[in-house]
Amino acid sequence: MSYQNIETLSWIGDQHGWLRMIDQTLLPAELHEIDCRHVETVWEAIKTLRVRGAPAIGIAAAYGVCVGLQTIPSDADIVEFKRRLHEVVEYLASSRPTAVNLFWALNRMKAKAESFYDSKNIEEIKVALFSEAKAIHEEDRRICRSIGMFGQELLRNGDTFLTHCNAGGLATADYGTALAVFFAATEMGKKIKVYADETRPLLQGSRLTAWELMQRGIDVTLICDSMAAMVMKQGKINGVVVGADRIAANGDTANKIGTYGVAISAKTHNIPFYVAAPVSTFDLTLVDGNSIPIEERDSEEICNGFGKRTAPQGVNVYNPAFDVTPAEFITGIITEHGIISPVNRENIHHLVSTS
């Protein structure tokens, strides 16, 4: 089975069906799909990074609501339905704290259900929620393409860009946010090269990004995270594009841990640093990045990654999954509605409010 004919996320059947996804924890050694027929399976998949990337997490959560409500019969009382919906939404929201698309998608599903409460027809509400989840899925496909087309204008033929973590098709419904820029540039006939940071400790850049780029026939070179500054100093990098999990009102951006260091290095070497993300990733309720919740993950990801112990038993470990890059380090934010540059509160508010 090739990457080209398999989707990261897909729904099987009608509203009574189930969610199918690639288990990204097994890549690149094994391309395996899992079926999520229960909300607990969806929650586990999000929590353990079987599905990851802010847009893909949002899509999975929307479908997770549909799966979770399948336990409510069509002749149930509307009060019982509301109770179960609240339970499912709160449960899925507890899976991971940083990616705002998770909460955006869940709030959208909740609002859709509430708009049908007057009818008190449980089956009608379920159908409406299933249609909303599919709409979120399809919208993300279009968003990916639009981000790619705006972003590819920043790349010249022969450019070499660096990216950190994975913001490709595996993180979205189509061909990504950051990687969409590279895919679109290639489709426009531009010959480009990409350096991919391995992205410690779970190696999303090595396992996922390098794999995706190779599947698409793009010239990719894998480097350790600690090598990024050196390749910039050597003049090998023309620009950087990364994804985002949450963007505050002033443009401060949370992305995979290590992104902040890449941004500092890019600033030092006068290399443009771009963030590619849909408008749904903006959280205008947060004044700046200091309020973005940062997920801390299990110490075993560092000490015993992929089943091999690489640190002494009992050592203290700090394992934040994300960091925040200040807006002043970001040259531009590539969205489906255009590029925000310079990155400031006024430009962000204007684009988000008119989109």
One-letter amino acid identity for 296?
E
Structure tokens at 148: 């790619």
Listing DSSP states for 283-310 in one string gives: ETT-SSGGGS---B--THHHHSGGG---
Candidate list 140, 245, 252, 323, residue with the active-site label: 245
Q: Which residue has the tokens 């929650």?
A: 43
Give the pairing type, strands 322-325 and 253-256.
antiparallel
Residue ranges of E strands in the chain: 9-12, 18-22, 33-36, 160-163, 193-197, 219-223, 239-242, 246-248, 253-256, 273-276, 282-283, 322-325, 332-335, 338-340
Does 245 participate in catalysis according to the annotation?
yes
> Is 196:210 a contact under the CB 8 Å cutoff?
yes
Q: Which spans in 240-355 are helix H?
A: 259-268, 300-303, 345-354
Contact 197, 191 (CB under 8 A): no
Nearest CA-CA partner of 140 in 247, 23, 58, 24: 58
Distances (CA, A) of 141 to 47, 55, 86, 137, 243: 23, 10, 28, 7, 16
Q: Are strands 219-223 and 9-12 parallel, antiparallel or unpaired?
A: unpaired
Rounded to whole angstroms, how far apart are CA atoms 258 and 77? Answer: 49
Question: Which positions are annotated as active-site residues?
Answer: 245
